[in-house]
Amino acid sequence: MKTSTLRNIALGIAVECAYALLIILVGFITCLLFSLKI
Amino acid sequence: MILRPRVEDARTIGYYLGKVIVGLGTVMLLPMVLGIACNEFNPALDFCIGAQISLIIGILLIKLCDTDKDLSWMQGMIVVSLSWLVAMVLGAIPMFLSGHWHSFLDACFDSMSGFATTGLTLVQDLDHLALSHNFWRHLIMFVGGQGIVIVILSLLVKGTSGAFKMYIGEARDEKILPNVVNTSRFIWLVSIVYFILGTLVLGVVGITEGMSKGSAFFHGACIFMAAFDTGGFTPQSQNILYYHSAAIEMVTIVIMILGAINFRLHYHIWMGNRREIAKNIETVAFFFSVSLLFVLVAVGLNQMQVYPYASMLFRKGFYQFISGHTGTGYGTLYAPQFISDWSQLALVGLIIAMALGGAVCSTTGAIKMLRVGVVMKALFQDIKRVILPDKSIVIQKFHHIRDVFLEDHQARTALIITLAYLALYGVGSLVGMLLGYPFLSSLFESTSAAANVGLSCGITQPAMPAALKITYIFQMWAGRLEFISVFTLIGFFVAAIRGK
């Protein structure tokens, strides 16, 4: 595999994990708001 | 007039079915080797028997039905639907021989649950199951998640157009690359890359949580296979609760979400089109669906006041919710807690999330986000038509890899599949209620089975009626294959009986 392909795959994995973490963040903020009774 | 199928049809179907069975028999050699390596000779023998039976049947079918003809659409669909039933029966043989399943039907239930990446289980004394058997339970999820036929395609079939028909029949209506064999190989590439990364991360987390190195990586590999393929089996009976680890829960949430992403989207993101994740109708719909439905679940949980702290609400509420929405079925609760601790509103929110599922061409089941997005866009289009002046032309677009103009046939197809799923959820609930279970529990378990989720509120256990086990097996099979190939198989049998 070319270096550029490997770089794209690595960045792609990072972007996908960031998407998953964003969803986790939304979930956690929701939990926080409900626990604070806001 | 219905035409009776010809002998040639049965011959072609038998030939390709034989190839799938040979592939399955070969896969059984993996746990056999693991059993021998771990000094588990009796379990290794179970797999030796299973592999022998599969290889004999497969080779006989290939020899008896030898043909050089390519598959027609009808034959391709039937090969796929039969492959999944045959895989269920053959995959259940080593399970049943282990003695951990009460009956062969129970082993078939777990086998279908594994291949269809559902996660409902009837195993007894799971905590003392041999490593090779535990590995087999997770391996069938990994194989089933990619698609049994996809696995065979990439190993045994060399670029025939029949391969494409089987690919479509296995509920993968999106071709990633022009050649379907390359498409299936790319799906394997994504799975293997994530398998290495996921197992490594879970193994390291396991070690930091106090597990031995061997155990941490074995559990890591098993958990990864079932999480990425949105399956839900775990090596221990208490599921993810066994680990009591926030870190493992966090990592598995990430893996479950990655598993719920469309493989075609993986391809475009990995090839450099990274902005696609922010524009794609499926990822956007999934994000909004999670955000809105979890508020519903959180309101419901708040009514019961069982999780007063944010961390508890996250680890008990959000974890089951995201597990349900991605169709995985991992849990940090005991099954009866859904009924005792969760309010009806929270359960309804979770059932809706399970019913919707993840992306098309991913490893999840259920209605799926593309269809939800298309139906919503069609609804907006109709509302605009009513609001705007009669002469105005209303055009609705959505973004899925490229901009697509919404056409009526897309909305119709999405609605038909959505209705078929709703009917499937309803049929399972009805059977549950006929057998004496309460409405909400029946709906929960039925949706979990048909959407290939695997969360249970306590109905699924070895003592449940055989009729319900068979109903859930049918739901898991039909839900995984998204109906078309199942309907084709039913049509084939009707034509064989009533055709001229």
B310 to A22: CB separation less than 8 angstroms, yes or no: no
Contact present, B46 and B94 (Cβ < 8 Å): yes
Kindly state the average pLDDT of the residues B124-130.
Answer: 91
With an 8 Å Cβ cutoff, is B270 touching chain A? yes
Tokens linked to B481: 């294959």
Tell me the per-residue pLDDT of B377-394, one tens digit each, with 9 for 90 and over: 999 888 988 888 877 888
Kindly state the average pLDDT of the residues B324-353.
Answer: 93
B286 contacts on A by Cβ (under 8 Å): 23
State the ipTM, two decimals: 0.95
Query: Which DSSP state fits B317?
Result: I
Kindly state the average pLDDT of the residues B13-19.
Answer: 90
DSSP H or E segment with residue B198: helix B180-208
Cα separation, B203 vs B222, in Å, equals 10
How close does chain B come to A6, measured CA to CA in Å? 9
Cα separation, B316 vs B321, in Å, equals 9
Cα separation, B183 vs B263, in Å, equals 9
Q: Check residue B321 and give its pLDDT.
A: 96
Kindly state the average pLDDT of the residues A11-35.
Answer: 94
Give percent of chain B above pLDDT 70: 95
Tokens linked to B77: 């669909």
Tell me the per-residue pLDDT of B396-449, one tens digit each, with 9 for 90 and over: 888 888 888 888 888 998 999 999 999 999 999 999 999 999 999 999 999 999
Residue listed under structure tokens 């009776």? B4
DSSP structure string for B340-391? HHS-HHHHHHHHHHHHH-S-TTSS--SS-HHHHHHHHHHHHHHHHHHHS-TT
Q: If you average pLDDT over every residue of chain B, what do you get?
A: 89
A34 to B250: CB separation less than 8 angstroms, yes or no: no
Report CA-CA distances (Å) from B5 to B46, B49, B498.
Answer: 37, 34, 10
Q: Check residue B487 and give its pLDDT.
A: 87
Kindly state the average pLDDT of the residues B472-492.
Answer: 89
Cα separation, B98 vs B420, in Å, equals 37
Report the predicted TM-score, pTM, of the whole model to 2 decimal places: 0.91
Select from B309, B314, B321 the Cβ nearest to the Cβ of A28. Answer: B314
Cα separation, B176 vs B163, in Å, equals 14
A26 contacts on B by Cβ (under 8 Å): 287, 290-291, 294
Tell me the per-residue pLDDT of B37-85, one tens digit each, with 9 for 90 and over: 999 999 999 999 999 999 999 999 999 988 877 778 888 888 888 999 9
Tokens linked to B357: 């599922």
Read off the amino acid at residue B408. D
Select from B250, B274, B283 the Cβ nearest to the Cβ of A11. Answer: B274
A28 to B310: CB separation less than 8 angstroms, yes or no: yes
Give the range among B30-39, B162-171, B227-236 with minimum mean pLDDT.
B162-171
Listed residue (B91, B119, B322) closest to B234, CA to CA? B119
B287 to A23: CB separation less than 8 angstroms, yes or no: yes
Give the range among B162-176, B288-302, B450-464, B473-487 with minimum mean pLDDT.
B162-176
DSSP H or E segment with residue B397: strand B397-400
B313 to A31: CB separation less than 8 angstroms, yes or no: yes
Give percent of chain B above pLDDT 90: 62
Listed residue (B116, B226, B119) closest to B170, CA to CA? B116
Which residues, in sequence order, are CB contacts of A35 under 8 Å at separation 6+?
B308, B309, B310, B313
